[in-house]
């Protein structure tokens, strides 16, 4: 069945296309959406885009782009064509994500409050942990109820040329982007309401209550049965401030800065107009090194002096736990499949992307010879910063990266380029394939829960593989379809 | 019975501020460790203004006393009193070869103590110096460590007030003067630069009386906290040496704790809020119990 | 609520009102002097600076007291934290700091006022069309007040916003009366009713006054109206009573009065039982000064009662290496 209308001339281009088979026919779960879109005219779409822009502006959804002088507030570009994940596929992903985050929590607990069995048993070398910037010795001995050290995890998934989902990287410190998941859905229901009619899309708007519930579950033993939760932000000048405020609003809890909190006798309180009010759980969105100037950077004025001692005394829970960076170190990433096997005695459900460890002389030689075919990433960065994409890099960039790798082999990893799957995306007045990834959000309180879907990021520039918002990426609403059995019991979103 | 020496140690720090401070939050690392070479009998910390002290063992096994003062003050006094028994240390009875340093399992076991840190970031010149010293000692790791220890001792002139912590270790060597933590950092950097794991140790040292030059039981000796280093010997463990005094560490050394460098075991660290600038004074008094008292104790 | 947020809202309210009142007073002074002698003008501008407590900082600039120099100082001088431009900037920063507690509409209103003011050529406006400029400032501030009233829930955040707003307005109405009064004394025309009418106009009160006092030409009636009206929202009594009401709601259920409540109640009753004719026979300036002092004390006690906990974060590291200088 040929494609028409907006799909006129649509070419999967030899990549795995999410919506269209290599023969050019819509995949089953995209059938209804494709038919709807074919019926839209460019004029229609332009109008829908105006509705979208108005929706985002009125919701005040912006992120700050820093250029010269003052930051500029921009709206985050959401493409009008949603991404659809069928029920069966999602079940597989959900299972894999729960498995991975469960193992990572066990790993972190082992390192910080356990007897480091994973090192003693030779699964992960001591030196790898010792040399990780994210390993926080100051977190030694601080436990978290239920071992929920990654209270919120954002696991970046990609699909390769065969359509296999693979984990690209783990974000276990302060993964951001969930506000776009919720806002994209809210905007989408206004922009293309009728498209929802043909689908049974699983809702995402329970994220706020679910997050609050998870945070309450990790409140210290002996805390008030109605524990006080706060969101700790670096302040209005942080580029993710919108999300911090958004989450506080979604949960109905106070959004505080470091200066609003005070530690007295190892108990944390917030300063209110009516005196000090005790705080039980801090959902912090500031980095480890700024959290407590007594034990970390003494020049930090964003943090709370004594908050680490309060956590150690069991008077407050800090989420995500301090020191999670060791587990999302991109060099440790290469060991995650073994970590899963070690703690859970099971094969990883979601495979990694093939990764080369550059301190190994053989692997390094191999990588340095093929720099133009590989992706090289610094181990401790996130957001795509400092990354080299071999096939599109200049000779000078490659030479510079070679020098950096030689100087600090522990500081980088190399990966095979994944031919990321593509998705129909609106370009001017028609649809073209653009590369995408997926960041689902996993919540751990007393149990592990995955929010259906997640943030689909799309590289809006033609041919680009970089989806990060700071690097010209956009996003898509992501629909997980309810399984047919659920059709009778669930209402529409 | 193993000969035991018992000490009473009093560590005092007072911080005078030149203006009112609203609050302060601090960590104290002053309690002697209990290990194969020493045993703490009693320990107590007090602060003035009073505070609730929370105690924990840090990543390196050092006892930390952490506390906050949340009332306006211009003077904070902290004292830590310890009674501790020290035992003699065994002499090294192995003589591993340099090749054993390269064993992956040895390197991984001591991975924490092989790299550069803020205070031990050696440069090429320092590594070259370490290699020259090592070359004279041949293939014997213990011999190399002892030679590096001597080299650290003879490379610096003991000069109180000559340096501050934070000065680059290469600069310390170039200026050829320093105090105990400079000696310790230098020795650590020298060892690590030729792949010998080494760590920084913070502690107390019962020194000879300044007036008589003798070590007298029952007298109170006023000193400062001290620092030395330990090197990992394949097949043996840590060898502790005091490059400031050119001594093997023995019963007169009382260990507080160890780390990769000073920043892992500072005696005191903290922050405060308010307008004042701090003037910190620290001192240690050590009394070695008399032989009679020790005998009495042994009988009990 | 967080002490810091309460403090930000309090100052957001104050700053907006300050910008508006400063514009009003500039407008009155400017237009009151159009036909005056130069020496009268200098005296009047100096008096304006005095009632705003800005005479000293201005004198330090050594610019000469003229309409242009004083107006520029009060409108956009970056070194004057009380200038209209600075006040609006502070209102924006304080709104931003309490962004989560105010409505998006209010934030947008404050933000776009700030941006628009900044984009204007203020020097040219002050010179060529001061009335239009001050009108723009007044309208924008009133618009912000309207948006706030329409979109903010009546919670503690609203109460702190209004508390700052009302205390500042009470102060500013006192000052407006003071500056007008001193001008009249200077001109030797205490009875010049059209001057008082100007005052009423500058407080947007002439129509309300007419309805209340009909054909009255008595200055005492004007003073009474601006100080004691129970219905006119810029009268000092109205402002103090609103502030008092807000304070009471903040402490609903509390068996005793707080210190801010007691201080405010006293100041309000000093005013409320006043006879305006007696006042005009005595020294109005002295009385207004007392009122200003009373309001200032209320503001200070509010800060102590509610914002004391909002401390600036000044964390200093204990010189980590101090004690080891003498290490063994």
Q: Comparing A296-305, B93-102, C226-235, which segment has the lowest mean pLDDT?
A: A296-305
Whole-number Cα distances in Å, A403 to A388, A407, A411, A413, B122? 13, 6, 12, 14, 21
What does R_g of chain A's alpha carbons equal in angstroms? 23
Dihedral pair phi/psi, residue A413, rounded to 5°: -130, 165
pLDDT digits (tens, 9 = 90+) for A336-381: 999 999 999 999 999 999 999 998 899 999 999 999 999 999 987 7
Please tell me which residue of chain A has the smallest CA distance to B266: A295
Instruction: In whole angstroms, give the CA distance from residue C298 to residue A460.
Output: 57
Judge if B148 and B247 occupy the same domain: yes
Q: Comparing C271-275, C293-297, C298-302, C322-326, which segment has the lowest mean pLDDT?
A: C322-326
Q: Does residue B299 sit within a domain?
A: no
| B182 within 8 A of B175, measured Cβ to Cβ | no
User: How close is the nearest chain C Cα to the Cα of B138, in Å?
Assistant: 32
Share of residues in chain C with pLDDT > 90 (%): 53
Please tell me which residue of chain C has the smallest CA distance to A292: C315
Residue A273 sits at the chain C interface (C-beta within 8 Å)? yes
The model's pTM is 0.88
Q: What is the pLDDT of residue C214?
A: 80
Q: Comparing A246-255, A294-303, A398-407, B2-11, which segment has the lowest mean pLDDT?
A: A294-303
Which residues 153-172 in chain B show a CB within 8 A of chain A?
none
Q: Which two tokens stand for residue A101?
A: 């985050």
Q: Does residue C192 sit within a domain?
A: yes
Judge if B24 and B118 occupy the same domain: no
Greater model confidence, C115 or C188: C115
Q: Give the DSSP letter string of A252-311.
A: T-EEE-GGGEEEETTEEEEEETTEEEE--EEEE-S-GGGT-TTTS-TT-SSS-TTHHHHH
Share of residues in chain A with pLDDT > 70 (%): 92
Instruction: Determine which of C309, C314, C324 to mutate to test the interface with B (most B C-beta atoms within 10 Å).
Output: C324
Q: Which two tokens stand for residue A295?
A: 């034990």
Highest mean pLDDT among A396-400, B146-150, C254-258: B146-150
Q: What is the pLDDT of residue B295?
A: 64
Q: Classify residue C318 by burial, with Cβ atoms within 10 Å: 0-12, 13-18, 19+.
A: buried
Q: Residue A69: is its pLDDT beyond 60? A: no
- Shortest CB distance from C100 goes to which of A58, A255, A259? A255
| A101 within 8 A of A328, measured Cβ to Cβ | no
> Are A245 and C99 an interchain contact pair (Cβ–Cβ within 8 Å)?
yes
| C267 within 8 A of C298, measured Cβ to Cβ | yes
Instruction: In whole angstroms, give the CA distance from residue A7 to residue A33.
Output: 12
Q: Residue A169: is its pLDDT beyond 90? A: yes
Q: Residue A41: is its pLDDT beyond 90? A: no
Q: Does residue B285 sit within a domain?
A: yes
Ranges of H-type helices in A113-220:
117-120, 126-130, 178-191, 193-197, 207-217
Q: Does residue B229 sit within a domain?
A: yes
Q: Does residue B148 sit within a domain?
A: yes
Q: Give the DSSP letter string of C16-31.
A: HHHHHHHHHHHHHHHH
User: How close is the nearest chain A Cα to the Cα of C265, in Å?
Assistant: 21
> Are B205 and C316 an interchain contact pair (Cβ–Cβ within 8 Å)?
no
Residues of B in Cβ contact (< 8 Å) with A313: 54
CATH no. of A355-416 = 3.30.1490.270
Ranges of H-type helices in chain B:
104-109, 124-137, 141-155, 169-175, 180-193, 291-299
Give chain B's end-to-end CA distance (angstroms, integer). 15
Instruction: In whole angstroms, give the CA distance from residue A306 to residue B67.
Output: 8
Between B and C, how many CB-CB pairs are < 8 A?
77
Q: What is the pLDDT of residue A61?
A: 62
Judge if B69 and B80 occupy the same domain: yes
For residue B164, what pLDDT band results from cuts at 50, 70 and 90? low
Between A and C, how many CB-CB pairs are < 8 A?
58
Q: Does residue B218 sit within a domain?
A: yes
Highest mean pLDDT among A234-248, A271-285, C25-39: A271-285
For residue A492, what pLDDT band results from cuts at 50, 70 and 90? very low
Residues of B in Cβ contact (< 8 Å) with C320: 165, 266, 269
Domain count within chain B: 2
Instruction: Determine which of C316, C317, C319 to mutate to test the interface with B (most B C-beta atoms within 10 Å).
Output: C316
Q: What is the pLDDT of residue A490?
A: 42
Q: Does residue C322 sit within a domain?
A: no
Q: What is the pLDDT of residue B85?
A: 95
Domain boundaries, chain A: 355-416
pLDDT digits (tens, 9 = 90+) for B208-239: 765 556 666 677 788 888 999 999 999 999 99
| C180 within 8 A of C29, measured Cβ to Cβ | no
Residue with tokens 């309000």: C268
Spell out the SS3 assignment of A452-467.
Answer: CCCEEEEECCCCCCCC
Judge if B173 and B253 occupy the same domain: yes
DSSP bridge pairs for B240: B230
> Are A263 and B25 an interchain contact pair (Cβ–Cβ within 8 Å)?
yes
pLDDT digits (tens, 9 = 90+) for B77-93: 999 999 999 999 999 99
For residue A67, what pLDDT band results from cuts at 50, 70 and 90? very low
- Shortest CB distance from A264 goes to which of B70, B108, B109? B70
Judge if B190 and B206 occupy the same domain: yes
Residues of C in Cβ contact (< 8 Å) with A286: none
Which subunits sit against B, judged by 3+ Cβ pairs under 8 A?
A, C
Dihedral pair phi/psi, residue A53, rounded to 5°: -60, -40
Q: What is the pLDDT of residue B290?
A: 67
Residue B23 sits at the chain A interface (C-beta within 8 Å)? yes
Residues of C in Cβ contact (< 8 Å) with A255: 100
Q: Does residue B298 sit within a domain?
A: no
Judge if B129 and B66 occupy the same domain: no
Q: Which two tokens stand for residue C138?
A: 């007044």
Q: Residue C324: is its pLDDT beyond 60? A: no
pLDDT digits (tens, 9 = 90+) for C57-114: 999 988 888 889 999 999 999 989 999 999 999 999 999 888 888 888 898 899 989 9
Among residues A328, A228, A239, A238, the alpha carbon closest in space to that of A283 is found at A228
Give all strands of the β-sheet with A317-319 in edge-to-edge order: A254-256, A229-232, A281-284, A317-319
| Phi-psi domain of A141 (left: phi exceeds 0; alpha: psi -120 through 50; beta: other) | left
- Shortest CB distance from C320 goes to which of B160, B266, B282? B266
> Are A140 and B114 an interchain contact pair (Cβ–Cβ within 8 Å)?
no
Highest mean pLDDT among A87-101, A171-185, A384-398: A87-101
Judge if B40 and B111 occupy the same domain: no
> Are B25 and A141 an interchain contact pair (Cβ–Cβ within 8 Å)?
no
Judge if B46 and B164 occupy the same domain: no
Please tell me which residue of chain A has the smallest CA distance to B273: A305
User: How close is the nearest chain B Cα to the Cα of C322, in Å?
Assistant: 6
Q: Residue C194: is its pLDDT beyond 60? A: yes
Q: Which two tokens stand for residue B115?
A: 């790299």
The CA-based dihedral angle spanning residues B46, B50, B51, B56, taken in that order and rounded to the nearest 10 degrees: 0
Which domain does C275 fall in, by range? Answer: 3-310
DSSP bridge pairs for A384: none
Q: What is the pLDDT of residue C103?
A: 87
Whole-number Cα distances in Å, C221 to A261, C180, C277, C287? 52, 15, 8, 17
Instruction: In whole angstroms, give the CA distance from residue B245 to residue B229.
Output: 12
Cβ within 8 Å of residue A65, ≥6 positions away: A71, A72, A73, A74, A470
Instruction: Determine which of C4, C151, C157, C163 to mutate to test the interface with A (most A C-beta atoms within 10 Å).
Output: C4
Q: Classify residue A125 by burial, with Cβ atoms within 10 Å: 0-12, 13-18, 19+.
A: middle
Q: Which CATH number covers residue B43?
A: 2.60.40.2250
What does R_g of chain B's alpha carbons equal in angstroms? 20
Domain count within chain C: 1
pLDDT digits (tens, 9 = 90+) for B103-162: 999 999 999 999 999 999 999 999 999 999 999 988 999 999 999 999 999 999 998 875
- Read off the DSSP letter of residue C191: T
Q: What is the pLDDT of residue A471?
A: 67
Greater model confidence, C37 or B158: B158
Residue with tokens 């000692």: B137
Q: What is the pLDDT of residue C58?
A: 93
Instruction: In whole angstroms, give the CA distance from residue B42 to residue B219.
Output: 20
Establish whether this prediction's ipTM goes over 0.85: yes
Dihedral pair phi/psi, residue B246, rounded to 5°: 55, 50
Instruction: In whole angstroms, give the CA distance from residue A114 to residue A143.
Output: 9
Instruction: In whole angstroms, give the CA distance from residue C35 to residue C12.
Output: 37
| Phi-psi domain of A9 (left: phi exceeds 0; alpha: psi -120 through 50; beta: other) | left
User: How many CB atoms lie under 10 A from the CB of residue A482?
Assistant: 19
Q: Residue A476: is its pLDDT beyond 50? A: yes
Q: Which two tokens stand for residue C271?
A: 């005013």
Instruction: In whole angstroms, give the CA distance from residue A341 to residue A478.
Output: 30
Residues of B in Cβ contact (< 8 Å) with C324: 165, 179, 181, 225, 262, 266-267, 282
| C296 within 8 A of B255, measured Cβ to Cβ | no
| Phi-psi domain of B200 (left: phi exceeds 0; alpha: psi -120 through 50; beta: other) | beta
Q: What is the pLDDT of residue C325?
A: 40
Among residues C287, C294, C305, the alpha carbon closest in space to that of C224 is found at C287
Q: Does residue B296 sit within a domain?
A: no
- Shortest CB distance from C318 goes to which of B15, B224, B275? B15
Residue with tokens 């009008």: A80
| B20 within 8 A of B74, measured Cβ to Cβ | yes
For residue C144, what pLDDT band results from cuts at 50, 70 and 90? very high
Whole-number Cα distances in Å, A117 to A133, A339, B60, B188, C84? 21, 11, 17, 29, 66
Q: What is the mean pLDDT of residues A168-185?
A: 93
User: How close is the nearest chain C Cα to the Cα of A381, in Å?
Assistant: 28
Residue B105 sits at the chain A interface (C-beta within 8 Å)? no
For residue A143, what pLDDT band results from cuts at 50, 70 and 90? very high
- Shortest CB distance from C6 goes to which of A60, A254, A273? A273
Instruction: In whole angstroms, give the CA distance from residue A45 to residue C307.
Output: 51
Instruction: In whole angstroms, give the CA distance from residue B135 to residue B144.
Output: 8
Q: Residue A217: is its pLDDT beyond 90? A: yes
Q: What is the pLDDT of residue B212?
A: 59
Judge if B113 and B246 occupy the same domain: yes
Greater model confidence, A469 or C55: C55
Instruction: In whole angstroms, give the CA distance from residue A63 to residue A179.
Output: 11
Q: What is the mean pLDDT of residues A385-398?
A: 89
> Are B108 and A125 an interchain contact pair (Cβ–Cβ within 8 Å)?
yes
pLDDT digits (tens, 9 = 90+) for C284-295: 888 999 999 999
Whole-number Cα distances in Å, A187 to A164, A462, B175? 30, 25, 66
Q: What is the pLDDT of residue C28?
A: 81
| A40 within 8 A of A8, measured Cβ to Cβ | no
Q: Give the DSSP letter string of A78-90.
A: EEEEEEEE-HHHH
Which domain does B205 fall in, by range? Answer: 98-264
Q: What is the pLDDT of residue A462?
A: 86
Q: Residue A322: is its pLDDT beyond 50? A: yes
Q: What is the mean pLDDT of residues A312-338?
A: 96
Angle, helices C130-151 vs C104-119, to 10°: value is 170
| CB burial readout A442-456, b (16+ within 10 A) else e | bbbbeebbbbbbbbb
Q: Residue A81: is its pLDDT beyond 80? A: yes
Share of residues in chain A with pLDDT > 90 (%): 67
Greater model confidence, A320 or C101: A320
User: How close is the nearest chain C Cα to the Cα of A64, in Å?
Assistant: 15
Judge if B243 and B282 occupy the same domain: no
- What 3-state class would DSSP assign to C3? helix
């Amino acid at each position: 069945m040929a494609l028409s209308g907006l799909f006129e001339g649509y070419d999967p281009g030899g990549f795995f296309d999410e919506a269209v088979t290599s023969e050019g026919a819509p995949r089953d779960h995209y059938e209804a959406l494709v038919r709807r879109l074919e019926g839209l005219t460019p004029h229609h779409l332009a109008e829908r885009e105006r509705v979208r822009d108005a929706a985002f502006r009125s919701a005040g959804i912006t992120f700050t782009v820093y250029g010269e002088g003052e930051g500029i507030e921009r709206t985050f570009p959401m493409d009008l064509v949603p991404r659809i994940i069928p029920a069966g596929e999602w079940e597989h992903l959900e299972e894999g994500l729960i498995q991975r985050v469960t193992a990572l929590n066990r790993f972190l607990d082992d390192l910080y409050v356990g007897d480091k069995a994973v090192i003693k048993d030779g699964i992960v070398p001591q030196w790898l942990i010792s040399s990780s910037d994210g390993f926080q010795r100051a977190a030694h001995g601080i436990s978290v109820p239920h071992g929920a050290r990654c209270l919120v995890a954002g696991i970046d998934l990609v699909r390769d040329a065969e359509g296999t989902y693979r984990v690209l990287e783990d974000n276990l410190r302060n993964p951001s982007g969930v506000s776009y998941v919720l806002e994209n859905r809210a905007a989408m229901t206004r922009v293309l309401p009728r498209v929802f009619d043909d689908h049974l899309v699983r809702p995402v708007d329970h994220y706020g209550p679910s997050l609050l519930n998870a945070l309450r579950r990790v409140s210290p033993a002996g805390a008030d049965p109605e524990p006080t939760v706060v969101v700790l932000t670096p302040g209005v000048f942080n580029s993710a401030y919108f999300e911090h405020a958004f989450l506080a609003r979604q949960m109905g809890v106070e959004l505080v800065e470091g200066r609003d909190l005070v530690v007295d006798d190892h108990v944390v309180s917030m300063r209110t107009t009516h005196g000090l009010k005790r705080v039980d759980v801090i959902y912090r969105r500031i980095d480890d090194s700024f959290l407590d100037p007594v034990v970390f950077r003494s020049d930090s004025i964003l943090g709370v002096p004594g908050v680490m001692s309060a956590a150690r005394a069991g008077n407050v829970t800090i989420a995500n736990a301090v020191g999670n960076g060791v587990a999302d170190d991109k060099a440790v990433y290469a060991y995650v499949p073994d970590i899963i096997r070690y703690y859970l005695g099971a094969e990883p459900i979601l495979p990694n992307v093939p990764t080369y460890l550059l301190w190994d002389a053989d692997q390094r030689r191999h990588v340095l010879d093929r720099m133009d075919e590989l992706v090289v990433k610094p181990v401790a960065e996130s957001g795509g910063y400092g990354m080299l994409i071999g096939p599109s890099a200049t000779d000078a960039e490659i030479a510079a990266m070679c020098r950096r790798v030689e100087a600090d082999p522990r500081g980088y990893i190399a990966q095979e380029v994944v031919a990321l799957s593509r998705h129909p995306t609106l370009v001017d007045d028609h649809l073209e394939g653009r590369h995408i990834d997926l960041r689902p959000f996993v919540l751990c309180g007393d149990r592990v829960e995955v929010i259906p879907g997640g943030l689909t990021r799309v590289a809006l520039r033609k041919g680009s593989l970089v989806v990060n918002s700071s690097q010209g990426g956009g996003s898509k609403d992501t629909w997980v379809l309810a399984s047919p059995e659920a059709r009778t019991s669930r209402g529409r979103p | 019975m193993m000969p035991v020496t018992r000490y009473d140690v009093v560590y005092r720090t007072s911080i005078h501020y030149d203006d009112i401070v609203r609050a302060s939050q601090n960590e104290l690392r002053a309690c002697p460790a209990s290990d194969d070479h020493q045993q703490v009998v009693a320990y107590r910390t007090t602060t003035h203004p009073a505070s609730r002290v929370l105690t924990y063992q840090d990543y390196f096994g050092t006892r930390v006393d952490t506390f906050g003062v949340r009332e306006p003050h211009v003077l904070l006094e902290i004292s830590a009193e310890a009674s501790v028994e020290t035992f003699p240390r065994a002499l090294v009875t192995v003589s591993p070869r340099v090749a054993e340093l390269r064993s992956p399992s040895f390197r991984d076991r001591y991975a924490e103590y092989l790299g550069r840190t803020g205070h031990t970031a050696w440069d090429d010149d320092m590594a070259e110096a370490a290699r020259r010293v090592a070359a004279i000692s041949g293939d014997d790791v213990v011999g190399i460590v002892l030679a590096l220890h001597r080299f650290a001792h003879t490379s610096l002139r003991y000069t109180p007030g000559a340096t501050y912590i934070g000065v680059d270790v290469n600069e310390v060597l170039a200026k050829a003067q320093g105090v105990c933590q400079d000696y310790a950092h230098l020795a650590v950097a020298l060892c690590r630069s030729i792949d010998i794991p080494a760590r920084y140790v913070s502690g107390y040292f019962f020194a000879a009386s300044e007036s008589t030059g003798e070590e007298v039981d029952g007298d109170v000796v006023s000193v400062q906290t001290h620092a030395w280093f330990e090197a990992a010997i394949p097949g043996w463990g840590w060898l502790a040496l005091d490059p400031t005094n050119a001594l093997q560490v023995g019963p007169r050394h009382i260990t507080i704790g160890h780390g990769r460098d000073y920043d892992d075991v500072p005696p005191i660290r903290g922050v405060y809020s308010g307008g004042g600038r701090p003037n910190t004074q620290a001192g240690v008094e050590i009394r070695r119990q008399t032989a009679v008292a020790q005998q009495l104790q042994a009988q009990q | 609520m967080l002490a810091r947020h309460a403090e930000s809202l309090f100052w957001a309210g104050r700053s907006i009102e300050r910008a508006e009142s400063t514009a009003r007073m500039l407008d009155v002074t400017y237009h009151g002097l159009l036909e005056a002698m130069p020496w009268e003008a200098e005296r009047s501008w100096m008096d304006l600076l005095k009632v705003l407590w800005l005479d000293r900082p201005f004198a330090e600039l050594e610019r000469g007291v003229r309409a242009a120099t004083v107006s520029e100082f009060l409108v956009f001088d970056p070194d004057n934290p009380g200038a209209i431009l600075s006040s609006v900037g502070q209102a924006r920063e304080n709104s931003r700091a309490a962004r989560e507690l105010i409505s998006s509409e209010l934030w947008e209103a404050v933000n776009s006022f700030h941006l628009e003011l900044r984009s204007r050529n203020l020097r040219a406006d002050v010179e060529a069309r001061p009335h239009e400029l001050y009108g723009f400032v007044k309208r924008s501030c009133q618009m912000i007040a309207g948006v706030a009233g329409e979109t903010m829930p009546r919670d503690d955040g609203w109460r702190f916003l209004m508390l700052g707003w009302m205390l500042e307005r009470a102060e500013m109405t006192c000052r407006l009366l003071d500056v007008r009064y001193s001008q009249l004394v200077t001109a030797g025309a205490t009875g010049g009713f059209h001057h008082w009418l100007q005052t009423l106009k500058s407080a947007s009160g002439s129509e309300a006054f007419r309805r209340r006092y009909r054909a009255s030409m008595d200055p005492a009636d004007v003073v009474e109206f601006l100080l004691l009206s129970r219905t006119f929202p810029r009268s000092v009594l109205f402002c103090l009573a609103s502030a008092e009401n807000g304070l009471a709601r903040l402490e609903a259920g509390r068996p005793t009065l707080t210190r801010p409540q007691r201080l405010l109640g006293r100041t309000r009753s000093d005013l409320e039982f006043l006879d305006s004719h007696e006042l005009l026979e005595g020294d109005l300036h002295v009385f207004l000064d007392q009122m200003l002092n009373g309001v200032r004390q209320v503001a200070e006690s509010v800060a102590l009662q509610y914002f004391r906990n909002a401390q600036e974060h000044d964390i200093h590291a204990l010189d980590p290496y101090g004690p080891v200088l003498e290490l063994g």
